[in-house]
A and B are shown apart, each in its own frame.
Chain A
């Protein structure tokens, strides 16, 4: 089975949220409620236990030629966010039950019948993706449509996307076409395009990369994500010292006591 990936090309995204809806329908996710966030047209805010695709709406200034036909219109940037299916996944490493596994397609999948709701994955994901559903108790995130991929289908979001902003395919080919697309956009004069694919970080690359215009930080994409296992060495050394100190302290206390 080949390793698959998502390429989300936000230069093609029209903010229709078809991916969000298709994901919710296919995976039978509960509603997020009906709240106004008070900014932009984004009423979901962020990925969560019931939101596995999330379209970010970046309201820009009035840039003639970018906001549609009328010069008074604002320019908009949209980008559909998703679990990054990290190469070194913080959630997978930290999960104590083995509920989080790497599938044969290279995706990171939480087995709902094994998850026990300890919520440790929530604090070990460097992208803030996984969340515990308080009512159910367990943690949920994008499954990379593991069930559909097993049947040879594309993920629901990629299937529903009307502009092919969400592309799905074999990871090597997709990286190649991402680079081609980047070069094409730059040729066409869009000099501010970026490919977000942090292969240099300890996360070691992701299976869901993004083409965005402007600084990727605008879309809350962290420039240097770190998988928390990198902190383990320091932590255990410190724990060893702490245990040594406790032992020494106790021995000292009794040593002094028995001298009296």
Chain B
């Protein structure tokens, strides 16, 4: 067949900033237009991943602390962190939805195959049990009484278990999507999220450390912390290692900087994954298998 053709492949930007290629073919796809849609979540969502994850972890600390009869002040701090996080988290999600009452639509059904549904129910169970634990804990402190203790422990266990799900399901939530950058990493995303969290949760406790939290400081910020710090980035690790050699006052400053760095690292991890989804959705070459197969 006679084919007089000079189709040049150039790139242009459309008004919405998407890159399009001049030309449609089996090699370029349809003018380089994306096959997938960009994630439409606003900044509240990665922030929720972070706050939710952190409060889940705090609840775990409180539960394990209680089991190993750690310092009462530490347990109290961790419980309140969990409870407050359990209030902020749904607020962030609701802010993303726009119309607050629409959040209730999540609670009409439970769908095991939808990580979003599993997460919503987990969050509801967590928020309620974490708040109950914090309030009951205050009662218990004022009027020690065995009935209250049993109730506190029961809600503590519920909030720690749901907290564990809350801290890890977000990796599944963003991993099990059509976005290649995410589904290719679905088997490491939850671990990545949890590892970043492990440093952050220790770090947040460290930030508000009172003399009473010494047990945790010497342990969480010990080798476990340093190992997790490696996962969250070399900076907190370097600062922590430095702090080992410094005088007491310098040590506190460096530890504090390291703590802030790990919290920031954990938040950034989540934000980065959400952002990576946008870039990946714009790229038509993976869904169309343009790199691997040239027909």
Contacts and interface: CB of A to CB of B under 8 A. Distances in A.
Given A39-B22, A226-B178, A249 B228 contact: yes
A90 B37 CA distance: 13
A204 interface: no
A255 interface: yes
Contact of B40 (A132, A226, A260): A132
Nearest to A60: B5
Contacts of A120: 114, 116, 173
Size class of the contact patch on chain B: 35 or more
A235 B193 contact: no
Contacts of A243: 164-165, 167-168, 194
A1 interface: no
Contacts of B61: 250
B52 interface: no
A118 B117 CA distance: 11
Size class of the contact patch on chain A: 35 or more
A3 interface: no
Contacts of A62: 3-5
Given A95-B114, A246-B197, A257-B219, A61 B178 contact: no
B109 A246 contact: no
B139 interface: no
Given A39-B22, A63-B1, A118 B222 contact: no
Contact of B168 (A125, A137, A239): A239
Nearest to A48: B37
Given A38-B14, A214-B26, A246-B164, A254 B68 contact: yes
A96, A125, A236 pick with most chain B CB within 10 angstroms: A96
Contacts of A143: none
A119 B31 contact: no
A118, A127, A260 pick with most chain B CB within 10 angstroms: A118
Given A97-B106, A217-B25, 16 more contacts: A98-B109, A125-B36, A126-B36, A217-B288, A219-B24, A222-B289, A228-B183, A231-B176, A231-B177, A239-B165, A242-B171, A242-B193, A251-B64, A253-B224, A257-B216, A258-B215
Interface of B: 1-7, 12, 14-15, 18, 20, 22, 24-26, 29-31, 33-41, 57, 60-61, 64-65, 67-70, 96-99, 102-103, 105-106, 108-109, 111, 113-117, 119-120, 164-165, 167-169, 171-179, 183, 186-191, 193-195, 197-198, 202, 215-216, 218-220, 222, 224-225, 228, 277, 281, 284, 287-290, 293, 295
Interface of A: 35, 37-40, 42, 45-46, 56, 58-64, 90, 93-99, 114-120, 122-132, 134, 137, 214-215, 217-220, 222-226, 228-229, 231-232, 234-243, 245-247, 249-258, 260
27 contacts: A35-B14, A45-B18, A58-B30, A62-B3, A62-B5, A63-B1, A63-B3, A93-B111, A93-B114, A94-B113, A96-B106, A116-B99, A122-B40, A125-B36, A129-B37, A217-B289, A232-B172, A232-B176, A235-B171, A235-B187, A238-B175, A242-B191, A246-B197, A250-B64, A253-B224, A256-B222, A257-B220
